[in-house]
Amino acid sequence: MQSGNLDILRIILHSGFVVKIVLGLLIACSVFSWAIILKKRKLFKEVEENNERFYEIYKTSENLKDVLLKSEMLPFSPYKSLFTNGYAELMKIREAYTGQHKSGLAFHFQNFGLGILERGLKKGVNETNAELGGLLSTLASIGSVAPFIGLFGTVWGIIDAFSGLAGGGGSIDAVAPGIAEALVATAVGLAAAIPAVWFYNYFNNQSDKINTDMESFGQDFLNVVERSVVD
């Protein structure tokens, strides 16, 4: 290593066995977290686009059955998930009153309310949150644990450095390599943790926004059903 220059790669290559394991683990965590980040960014972008496509179909269709048919081939969308679950429950109610009551849907809603449809919509919300929330807990774990793994490498590197002092090497040259690898472990730990924490919060905020949009769509769906029953 040249004086005045910081050669990170050389420090890593000449670090102790334990610190190398720590650094390897942190690099693996960082690679895995970035793979999750890229996958989730792609998913959220697709969800936004698919929601827009479904909502356009929903607004321009003549009736609910028409919406179902036109959106059948659309990929995953929170709006579609809510609609298909709500529509399925609506059809079950209609089938239950087939041949029994002239206005089965109206009779059911007047006597039992919209509870069964609301539970169907809730099922769609749960399905969406399971899809959106997948791997986010792993991202949070990496953000929480990586700094402590780096800290372990730091402590071990410092211990190794002061072992050199105990062995009689009292010069700065004797302890500098150990201190350097200790600080590199800290830096790599933070480099792995910071993006994981930032994107975890970002994706959670995106999920909250989607949940708010789903709540509005669910209310609109219930309004459409009520109007169709009244008409």
pLDDT in tens, 147-190: 999 999 888 888 877 776 655 555 666 566 667 777 888 889 99
Q: Which residue has the higher pLDDT, 96 or 38?
A: 38
Q: What is the pLDDT, as a whole number, of residue 225?
A: 85
User: Residue 165 is which amino acid?
Assistant: L
Q: What is the pTM of this model?
A: 0.82
3-state secondary structure at position 7: coil
| Lowest-pLDDT range of 49-53, 161-165, 179-183, 193-197 | 161-165
Q: In 3D, which of 201, 13, 197, 46 has the Cα closest to residue 131?
A: 46
Q: What is the pLDDT, as a whole number, of residue 199?
A: 96
CA distance 147 to 29: 11
Q: Is the pLDDT of residue 108 over 60?
A: yes
CA distance 150 to 29: 11
Band the pLDDT of 93: cuts 50, 70, 90. Answer: confident
End-to-end CA distance of the chain: 83
Q: What is the pLDDT, as a whole number, of residue 4?
A: 44
Contact 185, 16 (CB under 8 A): no
CA distance 136 to 33: 10
Q: Is the pLDDT of residue 2 over 70?
A: no
CA distance 147 to 189: 5
Q: Is the pLDDT of residue 115 over 90?
A: no
Rounded to an integer, the average pLDDT of 135-154 is 92
Rounded to an integer, the average pLDDT of 102-120 is 76
Question: 10 Å Cβ neighbour count for 150?
Answer: 27
Q: What is the pLDDT, as a whole number, of residue 1?
A: 39
User: What rounded mean pLDDT belongs to the chain?
Assistant: 84
